[in-house]
């Protein structure tokens, strides 16, 4: 699979969830003090993302 979520630690020691595609970071979350919170952020995207509307502001 070319896309995946990764949980990494930032320089401040916080847990950050990254969404990557072909090894490139597409977007990432804020830093969390616990790994569980980063996992919750991923779960939220997986749960709520499929129904998110597209707001095309180029018109």
Supply the CATH classification number for the domain 3-45: 3.30.160.160
Enumerate the domain spans of the chain.
3-45
**Phi/psi of residue 57, nearest 5 degrees:** -100, 20
Q: What is the DSSP string of 45-56?
A: HHHHGGGPPP--
Q: What is the pLDDT of residues 14-57, one digit of tens each?
A: 999 999 999 899 999 999 999 999 999 999 999 998 888 999 99
Question: Is residue 1 very low, low, confident or very high in pLDDT (cuts 50, 70, 90)?
Answer: low
CA 47 to chain centre: 12
Counted residue by residue, the chain has a size of 59
Contact (Cβ atoms closer than 8 angstroms) between residue 17 and residue 5: yes
Query: Tokens standing for 15?
Result: 């847990």
With a cut of 80, say whether residue 59 has pLDDT above it: no
**Phi/psi of residue 43, nearest 5 degrees:** -60, -40
């Amino acid at each position: 699979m070319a896309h995946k979520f990764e949980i990494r630690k930032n320089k401040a020691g916080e847990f950050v969830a990254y969404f990557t595609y072909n090894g490139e970071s597409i977007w990432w979350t804020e830093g969390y003090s616990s790994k569980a919170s980063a996992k919750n952020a991923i779960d939220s995207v997986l749960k709520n993302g499929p129904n998110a509307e597209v707001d095309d502001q180029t018109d």
